[in-house]
Amino acid sequence: MPRPTAAQIAYGSITVIFSTLAMLLLSQTSSAVGTAVIAVSALALGLLVAMTVPQPKPRVVAVSRPAGRPAEHTAEEPVPAVATGSKTAA
């Protein structure tokens, strides 16, 4: 299982805090059972939000092949570096 990203942790934590506060204020409960139900449901909601945050996609690096090389050039072969910029006079 991949590790959670910083965004997942942040969104999940903020959801737990705000949903707990909102449900406690709206329900006006004073019993321990009501508070426990609200806490468990807030944790479940925070977990749901954290799991639905999209995972970052791995970046795909495109390798360009130099002109004149055949199409069957593979990534295992060394690719010569192409100098870009001004040349100095010798």
Distance CA 47, CA 19 (A): 12
Q: Is residue 16 part of a domain?
A: yes
Residue 39, pLDDT score: 94
3-state helix vs strand vs coil in the chain, percent to 5: 50, 0, 50
Residue 10, pLDDT score: 92
For 6-22, the pLDDT digits (tens) are 888 999 999 999 999 99
The residue assigned the tokens 């192409």 is 82
Q: Is residue 75 part of a domain?
A: no
Q: How many structural domains is the chain composed of? A: 1
Q: Is residue 15 part of a domain?
A: yes
Q: Is residue 10 part of a domain?
A: yes
Count the neighbouring beta carbons within 10 Å of the beta carbon of residue 8: 19
Q: Is residue 90 part of a domain?
A: no
For 31-90, the pLDDT digits (tens) are 999 999 999 999 999 999 988 877 777 777 776 766 666 656 555 656 666 666 655 555
Binned at pLDDT 50, 70 and 90, residue 24 comes out as very high
Range of the domain at 12: 6-52
Q: Is residue 67 part of a domain?
A: no
Q: Is residue 32 part of a domain?
A: yes
Residue 43, pLDDT score: 94
